[in-house]
């Protein structure tokens, strides 16, 4: 009988789910860092952001791109590490985006920490889902997505999206989300910004 010896994935060795760090290990992992200096115009209190140390890390994204950007039918994989903190009471969050190819969907899932996933349709109707370790979030096509860290530890979440999705950051930069999340006396408050 012929047998087939299994091998480890050749280019991405492991994701640390055991230690629950979500860290990607492997030669082909690419890392992007977003500091407060990179997030001009993202928070409502822009003057408060500008007064903070621009080198403060807001989040890091580790990605594994097994195929070239734009490849139809492929998938990308990433883990985001969003730090706790706030700018003028507004929690640290990702820039947020629509996919450039509007109809492409994405999965997010919680690994560590807690937060809110803002999901906004093209008509600016918005909803929020709680993210926590083990929660799974299906983001349909045509829905802008932004993660907000409402907790006190790093919010770590995984993501998987089509390799031809691309990112449209300009729409959110110009029009923003129709709600923002602030620290309130009794916890996070999602305030409308229509």
Q: Which of residues 139-168 bind ligand PAN (CB under 6 A)?
A: 145, 159, 161, 165, 167
Q: Contact at 8 Å (CB) between 182 and 189?
A: yes
Q: Contact at 8 Å (CB) between 138 and 159?
A: no
Radius of gyration of the chain (CA): 17
Pick what 29 binds: Zn ion, ligand PAN, none; C-beta below 5 to 8 Å, kind-dependent: none
Cα–Cα dist 190/116, whole Å: 9
Q: Which of residues 64-123 bind Zn ion (CB under 5 A)?
A: 106
CB of 114 to ligand PAN, least distance (A): 16
Q: Closer to ligand PAN at the Cβ: 78 or 110?
A: 78
The CB-side HSE value for 81 (13 A sphere, CA atoms) comes to 15
Binding site for ligand PAN (CB under 6 A): 61, 78, 80, 94-97, 106, 145, 159, 161, 165, 167
Binding site for Zn ion (CB under 5 A): 106
């Amino acid at each position: 009988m012929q047998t087939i010896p299994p091998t480890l994935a050749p280019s991405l060795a492991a994701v640390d789910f055991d230690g629950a760090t979500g860290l990607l290990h492997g030669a082909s992992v690419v890392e992007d860092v977003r500091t407060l200096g990179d997030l001009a115009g993202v928070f409502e209190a822009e003057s408060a952001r500008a007064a903070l140390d621009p080198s403060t890390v807001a989040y890091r994204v580790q990605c594994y791109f097994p195929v070239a950007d734009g490849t139809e039918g492929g998938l990308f994989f990433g883990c985001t590490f969003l730090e706790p903190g706030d700018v003028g009471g507004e929690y640290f969050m990702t820039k947020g985006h629509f996919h450039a190819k509007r109809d492409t969907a994405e999965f997010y899932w919680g690994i560590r920490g807690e937060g809110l996933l803002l999901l906004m349709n093209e008509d600016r109707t918005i909803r929020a889902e709680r993210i926590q370790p083990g929660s799974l979030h299906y983001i349909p096509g045509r829905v802008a997505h932004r993660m907000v860290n409402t907790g006190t530890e790093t919010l770590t979440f995984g993501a998987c999206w089509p390799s031809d999705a691309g990112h449209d950051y300009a729409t959110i930069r110009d029009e923003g989300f129709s709600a923002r999340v602030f620290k309130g006396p009794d916890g996070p408050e999602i305030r409308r910004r229509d």
